[in-house]
Amino acid sequence: MRRERVPIIVAALAAIGAAFFILPLLGLVVRSPWGDAVKALTAPETIEALKLSLFASLSATAVGLVLGVPLAWVYARVEFPGRDVLRALTTLPMVLPPVVGGIALLLAFGRRGLFGSWLDTTFGITLPFTTAGVVMAETFVAMPFLILTVEAGLRSMDRRYEEAARTLGASRWRVFTRVTLPLIGPSLFAGAALCWARALGEFGATITFAGNFPGVTQTMPLAVYLQLETNQESSFILSLVLLLISLVVLIGLRDRWLGSA
Amino acid sequence: MSLDAAVRLTLGPLDLDMEFAIEEGEVVALLGPNGAGKTSLLRAVAGLVPLKSGHVRLDGQILEDTGSGQYVPTERRPIGFVFQDYLLFPHLSVLDNVAFGLRSRGTSRREAADKALKWLDRVGLNIYARAKPAELSGGQRQRVALARALAANPRLLLLDEPLAALDVTTRAEVRRDLKHHLATFQGIRLLVTHDPLEAVALADRLIVMENGHLVQTGTPAEVTERPRSQYVADLVGVNLLRGHAEHGSVHIPGGPSVAAAGAESGEVFAVIHPRAVAIYRNRPEGSPRNVWPGRASGIELLGDRVRVRIDGEVRVVAEVTPAALKELDLDEGGEVWLSFKATDVGVYPA
Amino acid sequence: MRSRVSWFVVAAALLAACGSSPSTAASSPSPTPSPTLSGNISVFAAASLTASFTALGTSFQAANPGVTVKFNYAGTPTLVTQIEQGAPADVFASADTANMDKMTADGFTAGASLVFAHNQLEIVVAPGNPKGITGLADLAKSGVLYITEGPTVPAGKYALQALKAAGVTVTPKSLETSVTAVISKIELGEADAGIVYTTDVTAAGSKVAGVPIPAAQNVIATYPIVVLKGTTNAAAAYAFTSYVVSVTGQSTLTSFGFLPAT
């Protein structure tokens, strides 16, 4: 591909745009006290927060896959009245301020929530202040990414492969698992990775709905926020860890995200 | 073994209304121009498109019947389908592709792999068993697609333009192979094509379709010798006229009468081979009864002969040698006279 | 009276210009409108001061129409972080002396701080006290969902002191970032009990109920206020802090349940 000459204005604006993102990241790298890095990273609270974050974000991704893929399939394949409205509602958490999401979760699943009160009186189960609550908060904000990506993949795949499979005697379930899913593999992977990265970084909904307690609900982002008040430099290091994880995910996704479904 | 189908459906601007039957032992080709509805008909037989009304019966078993509301979904029909662009599953190996039908119908992994390998052997591609479809050439993929469709032991084999995706040089070779494989298949074979050469080469019987309707059916010889539509006439390369016969001539509605030996009575088709049409610059004198003026509206060089389309009272295509054309000093738009003998007009009932 | 007040305000302004601050005078006369005060000031105040400082702001602005006061309420450690990271603030009101000492040690304060109020802890529960909490010991009862502030928040620190004094061991379900966050969760019904200030219970009105903590176990919280070095409107900043420690200011604070500065 011949390199196109870049107009000056475009280059200048693009450079400013890039700087806008690179400078804060550079700031983190430069200001982090690398000497204390090991101590900060191996402190018991950090390890606890990291373990909890990994567990919760992976669980949220799993829930996202189990519930999100069928939802994406319905959006892509089934025509029904109100589909656009439903899709907008399930995509809302992407644009909603996370704290608002947390409040909404409380009103639905809190002890006095629409559904939560029933859970409490019938089973004695409360979701706020539990790790399950963290998973719920993270799923709420992260699943829309998975749904959108998978839906796009389903829409863009060549459905004739599904017809070919049917002519070969494959049941609808078999068509889905042996043909559809493998063909949308890249979208599925990208959606899951984005979902996971978003879940890992979730703060507002988590602290509002699930609260904050080490080992139970204090995820890495919460730990970073609190460390900012007590041990600033430790918070820089932890921020860097989260940043690097997200960077790895994005770099790994690069091609797939740019749509080679 | 037989296939008996009446298919009526509407797809966008196309209204399809076809009834046909295929007997055991026949290879039938559905021939027609693009847009005639051939592929839609095939898909309807496969159950991929629902019928508006009609039925599909295979060996007496009802696959679909709008009257009684019965419908057997595609995956439970004992069919094999070879798609125009093969649609080999890109994420599976060639072997897994061929084994797919067997595995879907419950065969164990080991047995399916064995049978698939045997099929690859039969089409001469067993060394590619582990390869992915993308690594194969067009002709090879066509053979894999055929093996995949046949491996599951269908009772009805449907092929949609099986050679269309191949380049001209590969096509001839693959056509020979396909004919051989079709011959060894025991079930009903129905293929769809727009290429008359393909149809004639592969099929025992042709069903000609135009605009969703049946136009003509018969053996390739019958169809080409006695075309019953302009489409077939064009395919075969003859002139076709239609009119009312009356003792030695055919009256073309809104046109002249053509002298035709053998024209007795009734609605008839009249066929004149372009070879039999002679072109003059001036009105000729002589024995031919059919002499008309016209204008050369198209001149086409085809190797060692030239086809001249002539418009006038009678519109025909004449075939002459390049030397003759030069001698006539004829350009497009030029005034000519054409003639052909009454004995060169083939007449048969419409 | 008028001249004494004017003199005081002018002296304060002059002293601000020199970088030193007025002494911790317990009672100063209330200010009357001064034509020299104008502009905006930003007051960063501990969350437990939300209701009372908003009221103080309103009456201060009524008395000084040229000035606009903007408030930022949060847990004290959060405010400290914000200020040290460069957030523009003129006045800082802390819920404990430890955080104020940190600010001073880090060089962000303009002169010495003034103690303007005290506070005490109280147990906060849902209206009607459905779980029947009678004291700190009941917080450890099974079936009681207890939350508190994080240990770096003054109230959280005090809560731990009170529990220790009472000999009670209880693990909270969550460590919130401010007293207001704890109050919200009690109001929402998500938690059964928390430890906040008596002023917070008063401020929440009928949405919560309070269970007093005996003096022997209770902790006296000390609230200092200071003008910050980075202030852009020293005159108004000092005027506001003076107002807070003035008779009017003090009576407003006590009406919200705070204990007076002395």
Q: Do B76 and A174 touch (CB under 8 A)?
A: no
To 10 degrees, what angle do helices A185-201 and A131-156 make? 150
C11 has pLDDT over 60: no
Whether residue C231 is found in the same domain as residue C107: yes
Q: Do B48 and A167 touch (CB under 8 A)?
A: yes
Backbone conformation region of residue C132, classed left if phi is above 0, alpha if psi is from -120 to 50, else beta: left
**By three-state DSSP, how is residue B294 classified?**
strand
pLDDT band for A255, please (50, 70, 90 cuts): low
C166 has pLDDT over 70: yes
C25 has pLDDT over 80: no
On whether any CB of chain B is under 8 Å from the CB of A177, the answer is no
Whether residue C145 is found in the same domain as residue C173: yes
Regarding beta strands B70-71 and B61-65, do their DSSP bridges make them parallel or antiparallel, or are they unpaired?
antiparallel
Nearest to B83 among A164, A174, A183 (CB): A164
Q: DSSP for B35-85?
A: TSSHHHHHHHHHTSS--SEEEEEETTEEEEETTTTEE--GGGS-EEEE-TT
Q: Do A161 and B105 touch (CB under 8 A)?
A: no
The pLDDT value recorded for residue A1 is: 61
Task: Give dist(CA C192, CA C125) in Å, integer.
Answer: 6
C34 has pLDDT over 70: no
CA distance C80 to chain A (A): 8
Q: Do B87 and A169 touch (CB under 8 A)?
A: no
Whether residue C105 is found in the same domain as residue C131: no
Nearest to B105 among A169, A172, A178 (CB): A169
Q: Do A213 and C173 touch (CB under 8 A)?
A: yes
Amino acid letter at C239?
A: A
**By three-state DSSP, how is residue B233 classified?**
helix
- Render each residue's pLDDT in chain B as its tens digit; 350 residues: 789 999 999 888 889 999 999 988 889 999 988 888 899 999 999 999 999 999 999 998 999 999 999 999 999 999 999 999 999 999 999 999 999 999 999 889 999 999 999 999 999 998 999 999 999 998 899 999 999 999 988 999 999 999 888 888 888 888 888 998 999 888 899 999 988 888 889 999 999 998 889 989 999 989 988 898 888 888 888 999 888 988 888 898 877 888 888 888 889 999 999 999 999 888 888 888 888 888 998 888 888 889 999 988 878 899 999 888 888 888 888 889 989 888 888 899 88
Asked whether residue C260 is assigned to any structural domain, the reply reads no
Amino acid letter at B242?
A: R
On whether any CB of chain C is under 8 Å from the CB of A221, the answer is no
Contacts of C78 in chain A (CB under 8 A): 229
The answer to whether chain C touches chain A by having 3 or more C-beta pairs less than 8 angstroms apart is: yes
Whether residue C190 is found in the same domain as residue C245: no
Asked whether residue C163 is assigned to any structural domain, the reply reads yes
- Residue B114 belongs to what H/E stretch? helix B109-122
The answer to whether chain A touches chain B by having 3 or more C-beta pairs less than 8 angstroms apart is: yes
**Phi–psi pair at C132, nearest 5 degrees:** 65, 45
Whether residue C100 is found in the same domain as residue C129: no
Q: Chain B 143-162, CB below 8 Å of chain A: which residues?
A: 148-149, 152
Indicate which CATH number applies to the domain containing C127: 3.40.190.10
Domain boundaries in chain A? 42-256
For chain B, the C-alpha Rg in angstroms (whole number) is 25
C132 has pLDDT over 70: yes
The average pLDDT across A55-63 equals: 96
Pick the residue from chain A with its C-alpha nearest to B86.
A164
The pLDDT value recorded for residue B52 is: 92
Contacts of C191 in chain A (CB under 8 A): 129
Helices (H) and strands (E) in chain B, counts: 9, 21
Asked whether residue C261 is assigned to any structural domain, the reply reads no
**Phi–psi pair at B177, nearest 5 degrees:** -60, -45
pLDDT band for A151, please (50, 70, 90 cuts): very high
Question: In which domain, by residue range, is C161 found?
Answer: 120-212
Q: With pLDDT > 70 as the criterion, what percentage of chain A qualifies?
A: 96
Whether residue C168 is found in the same domain as residue C185: yes
The pLDDT value recorded for residue B20 is: 92
Task: Give dist(CA C218, CA A225) in Å, integer.
Answer: 30
The pLDDT value recorded for residue A102 is: 92
Asked whether residue C189 is assigned to any structural domain, the reply reads yes
On whether any CB of chain C is under 8 Å from the CB of A246, the answer is no
For chain C, the C-alpha Rg in angstroms (whole number) is 19
Task: Give dist(CA C70, CA C248) in Å, integer.
Answer: 20
Do C192 and C145 form a contact (C-beta atoms < 8 A)?
yes
Q: Do A229 and C80 touch (CB under 8 A)?
A: yes
- SS3 of A132-195: HHHHHHHHHHHHHHHHHHHHHHHHHCCCHHHHHHHHCCCCHHHHHHHHHHHHCHHHHHHHHHHH
On whether any CB of chain C is under 8 Å from the CB of A112, the answer is yes
The pLDDT value recorded for residue B313 is: 81
Task: Give dist(CA C87, CA C69) in Å, integer.
Answer: 16
The pLDDT value recorded for residue C223 is: 95
Task: Give dist(CA C29, CA C247) in Å, integer.
Answer: 6
Task: Give dist(CA A168, CA B105) in Å, integer.
Answer: 8
pLDDT band for A250, please (50, 70, 90 cuts): confident
A68 has pLDDT over 90: yes
Neighbours of B127 (CB within 10 A): 10
pLDDT band for C23, please (50, 70, 90 cuts): very low
State the chains in contact with B (3 or more Cβ–Cβ pairs under 8 Å). Answer: A
Lowest mean pLDDT among A253-257, C221-225, C229-233: A253-257
On whether any CB of chain B is under 8 Å from the CB of A163, the answer is yes
Q: With pLDDT > 70 as the criterion, what percentage of chain C qualifies?
A: 86
On whether any CB of chain C is under 8 Å from the CB of A129, the answer is yes
Angstrom CA distances, A60 to A66, A149, A245, B336, C88, stand at 10, 16, 17, 84, 39
Q: Do A167 and B90 touch (CB under 8 A)?
A: no
Whether residue C248 is found in the same domain as residue C170: no
Which two three-digit tokens encode residue B4? 């008996």
Task: Give dist(CA C112, CA B299) in Å, integer.
Answer: 108
**By three-state DSSP, how is residue B183 classified?**
helix
The pLDDT value recorded for residue A156 is: 93
Pick the residue from chain A with its C-alpha nearest to C76.
A229
Lowest mean pLDDT among A170-184, A223-237, B111-125: A223-237
CA distance C107 to chain A (A): 17
Nearest to B75 among A158, A160, A166 (CB): A166
Q: Do C174 and A232 touch (CB under 8 A)?
A: no
Nearest to A229 among C78, C188, C189 (CB): C78
Do B172 and B122 form a contact (C-beta atoms < 8 A)?
no
Asked whether residue C129 is assigned to any structural domain, the reply reads yes
The pLDDT value recorded for residue A257 is: 55
Per the structure, the count of domains in chain C is: 2
pTM of the full structure: 0.77
Whether residue C192 is found in the same domain as residue C149: yes
Q: What is the mean pLDDT of chain A?
A: 88
**Chains A–B, number of C-beta pairs less than 8 Å apart:** 57
The pLDDT value recorded for residue C140 is: 92
**Phi–psi pair at A240, nearest 5 degrees:** -60, -40
pLDDT tens, residue by residue, C46-65: 999 999 999 999 999 999 99
pLDDT tens, residue by residue, C202-212: 889 899 999 99
Whether residue C7 is found in the same domain as residue C74: yes
State the chains in contact with C (3 or more Cβ–Cβ pairs under 8 Å). Answer: A
C20 has pLDDT over 70: no
Q: Do A128 and C150 touch (CB under 8 A)?
A: no
The pLDDT value recorded for residue A195 is: 94
Nearest to C190 among A110, A207, A217 (CB): A110
Contacts of A129 in chain C (CB under 8 A): 145, 147, 173-174, 190-191
Q: What is the side-by-side order of every strand in the sheet holding B14-23?
A: B70-71, B61-65, B53-58, B2-11, B14-23, B213-218, B205-210, B27-31, B188-193, B156-160, B79-82
Q: Chain A 9-38, CB below 8 Å of chain B: which residues?
A: none
**Class of CATH domain A42-256:** mainly alpha
On whether any CB of chain C is under 8 Å from the CB of A204, the answer is no
CA distance A85 to chain C (A): 30
Residue with tokens 């005697």: A169
Whether residue C238 is found in the same domain as residue C172: no
Q: DSSP for C195-218?
A: EEEHHHHHHHGGG-EEEE--TTT-
Neighbours of C7 (CB within 10 A): 10
